[in-house]
Structure 1
């Protein structure tokens, strides 16, 4: 009678080992499937980054002078003299603000991945030597193309 429980105890251990083997087999199959899925996702991510690289935006800036005596032609020349990869200056016009002061409204087209508008304003337009003419810049419109 004491020998009967021993084979019964051995049988569950063997079954447990078989289950572990089955788990490993299933896991390996999932790994191959996961690799395929991961490769597909990576390919999709690369495709989406290529689309993002061509993203462009149209930005309308207000460039404000220090006072009514600021030479607006020099101010516009200073703005247009800033060159960066992915930056293209467009049309501009002078708009009356009041008290004889005019501001420059200028359009630019940028490649989103190459040009940061905030960096352009903070690091190029409102620092030396441009700040001799430019008091401040505001983004009036920012549209994706």
Structure 2
């Protein structure tokens, strides 16, 4: 079958040219990533509810917090596993961890953060 057979006969050359130009010069959509973080508190005395509130208080354009889960580590300590979605063009995961999650005032609750899973959407 010919490639142009799907173009209706009544389509003008200008319409075809406009369609081709739209495809050629369309900007790619911004990529998104889904990330799972392990957030480890300092000790078993850390209030995990306050830790969650501190994390969710971080508001950056292109950052969307998701569900979380508390996972026992041992000796009464729990770590938080939390999902987040980022727009790749707007948010850097490394700078988010270094400049926001392990910096003041959140470092009062957070000992460390690790990326458990990183998936492009």
Structure 2: 5+ residue runs without aligned partners?
A: 1-22
Distance across 2 between alignment mates of 1:68 and 1:55: 38
Distance across 2 between alignment mates of 1:94 and 1:143: 21
Q: Which residue of 1 aligns with 2:41?
A: 65
Residues 1:54 and 2:30 are matched in the alignment: yes
Residues 1:129 and 2:102 are matched in the alignment: no
Q: How far is the alpha carbon of 1:131 from its aligned partner?
A: 0.2
**Alignment length (residue pairs):** 99
Residues 1:105 and 2:78 are matched in the alignment: no
Q: Which residue of 2 aligns with 1:80?
A: 56
Q: Which residue of 2 aligns with 1:10?
A: none
User: Counterpart of 2:71 in 1: which secondary structure?
Assistant: strand
Superposition CA RMSD, Å: 1.3
More strand by share: 2
Residues 1:120 and 2:103 are matched in the alignment: no
| Displaced runs of 4 or more, over 6 A | none
Pair member with larger Rg? 1
> Which fold has the larger relative contact order, with Cα–Cα distance below 8 Å and residues 6 or more apart in sequence?
2
More helix by share: 1
Q: How far is the alpha carbon of 1:54 from its aligned partner?
A: 1.9
| Cα deviation code 1:103-123 (max 9, x no counterpart) | 010000100000000000000
Structure 1: 5+ residue runs without aligned partners?
A: 1-42
Give the alignment's TM-score, normalised by structure 2: 0.78
